[in-house]
Amino acid sequence: MGTLMQALVFDGPARDTAATRVAAVERPAPGPGQVAIAVEYAGINFKDVMARRGDGGYAQSWPFVPGLEVAGHVLAVGPGVDTPEPGQRVAALTNTGGLAEVAVADAALTTPLPAGLDPAVAAVVPGAPTTADLLVHDVARVRDGDVVAVHSASGAVGAALAPLARLAGAATLVGIVGAPSRVPLARDAGYDSVHLRGPGLVESVREAAPGGADVVLDPQGTTALEDDLAVLRPTGQIVLFGNAGGCTLDPLPTTGRLYATNARIGGFSLESLSRADPARVRRALTRVVEHLAASRLSVQPTVLDGLAAAPAAQERLATGTGSGKYVVRVR
Ligand SMILES: NC(=O)c1ccc[n+]([C@@H]2O[C@H](COP(=O)([O-])OP(=O)(O)OC[C@H]3O[C@@H](n4cnc5c(N)ncnc54)[C@H](OP(=O)(O)O)[C@@H]3O)[C@@H](O)[C@H]2O)c1
């Protein structure tokens, strides 16, 4: 047994916090191309909830240490790593294992922290804002004058998408939420109009954007896909990037239907892209840090004290009763 550290652990799949605990686990060591980070702050994400409930492809094995994003300083580097150097302060996309005293990340998925950037804010950059930046620039390629419609507009990704799409030139931002209580949050995030998912959604979006949407960004699995197609402008595109409800994913429309609707449908996963093209993800991470440093973007997470506070915050995300973004002060 190596050196131990404290970490948040899911012992097995659970719909609530019953199988979550803070426990002593073995401290990870950096492999080739990796760094070990002394975690100061770690972000809480909806992905933790998906791993906790046992959705396919999230927890690789049990017990599982969640946590996809951190800020802290480099403790040690693995073989082949020149930068960052030990002692350097960084934000990093860890994908897993971030809710711990020490986390390992690929060196290629770290970015230095500019002086003056609050590490509690930096810790929540690699997840939602970086996802939003990649969706806008690399996936949907939002252009000047576009109408952009976003599901789950009040969530962490949705709230980051509004300012980033606007900076990219979007003319009209249409927010879609699942509960009336989230309408004001989406408006505060910068959406021009906010609509409730459910009956009447298509008509309501069409009223706000009569020509239809150039881009629809949708983390609701395939449950809203028919509505997405109905609000899409011909040659527009739908990007599917989540499955918040954990529902069965339906097959995509047939090729013939795509011809008939002139629709483009694509997918996005931050974790997959971070493995396939880490340089692209790091560029987005760095762009977001620059937006924050230049006050073009603002993120104000709720800071929780200690790993023991994480299970309740994850439960708030799971039950849709959270407000905003949570970050845990680990040390
Ligand atoms: N593909 C990727 O790489 C990637 C990266 C980051 C996030 N995501 C996904 O994007 C989504 C939003 O993430 P986030 O960080 O913004 O999370 P968040 O701040 O916790 O927001 C999650 C949103 O999901 C909806 N939701 C919550 N519980 C739900 C349930 N049981 N069934 C259906 N909808 C539910 C709610 O929006 P409504 O108002 O619409 O109900 C809520 O605002 C999640 O599905 C997440 O997995 C994907």
Q: And the tokens for 167?
A: 């900076």
Task: Single out the residue of 230, 199, 225 nearest to residue 213, CA to CA.
Answer: 230
Which of 46, 197, 217 for mutating ligand 1's site (highest number of atoms within 8 Å of CB)? 46
pLDDT for 322 equals: 80
Q: Check pLDDT > 70 for residue 174.
A: yes
For 208, the token pair is: 């706000």
Q: Is the CB of 47 under 6 A from ligand 1?
A: yes
Looking at every residue in the chain, the average pLDDT score rounds to 96
Model pLDDT, residue 321: 87
Among the listed residues 163, 133, 185, 195, the one whose alpha carbon sits nearest the alpha carbon of residue 325: 185
CA of 244 to the centre of ligand 1 (A): 5
Contact 5, 51 (CB under 8 A): no
Give the integer Cα–Cα distance in Å for 61 and 194.
39
Residue 176 has pLDDT above 90, yes or no: yes
For each of the domains in the chain, give its residue range(s) and CATH number, in order of start.
Answer: 4-124+301-329 (3.90.180.10), 130-269 (3.40.50.720)
CB-CB neighbours of 145 under 10 Å: 10
Tell me what pLDDT residue 1 has: 66
Whole-angstrom distance, CA of residue 100 vs CA of residue 10: 12
**What are the tens digits of pLDDT across the range 153-171?**
999 999 999 999 999 999 9
Q: Which residue of 130, 157, 285 sits with most ligand 1 atoms within 8 Å of its CB, as the best mutation to test the pocket?
A: 157
CA distance 88 to 290: 18
CA-to-CA distance for 105 and 92, rounded, in angstroms? 7
| Mean pLDDT across 284-291 | 95
Do 8 and 20 contact (CB within 8 A), yes or no? Answer: yes
Distances from the Cα of 72 to the Cα of 108, 141, 275, angstroms: 16, 32, 22
> Greatest CA separation found in the chain?
63
- pLDDT tens-digit profile of 74-109? 999 999 999 999 999 999 999 999 999 999 999 999
Percent of the chain with pLDDT over 90: 95
Q: Report percent pLDDT > 70 for the chain.
A: 100
H or E, element range at 73: strand 69-77
pLDDT band at 229 (very low <50, low <70, confident <90, very high): very high
Residue 43 CB–ligand 1 contact under 6 Å: no
Prediction pTM value? 0.97
pLDDT of residue 324: 79
pLDDT value of position 2: 85
pLDDT at residue 150, rounded to an integer: 98
Q: Is the CB of 41 under 6 A from ligand 1?
A: no
Give yes or no for a contact between 242 and 270, defined as CB atoms under 8 angstroms apart. Answer: no
Whether the per-residue pLDDT at 323 is higher than 80: the answer is no
Mean pLDDT of 115-130: 96
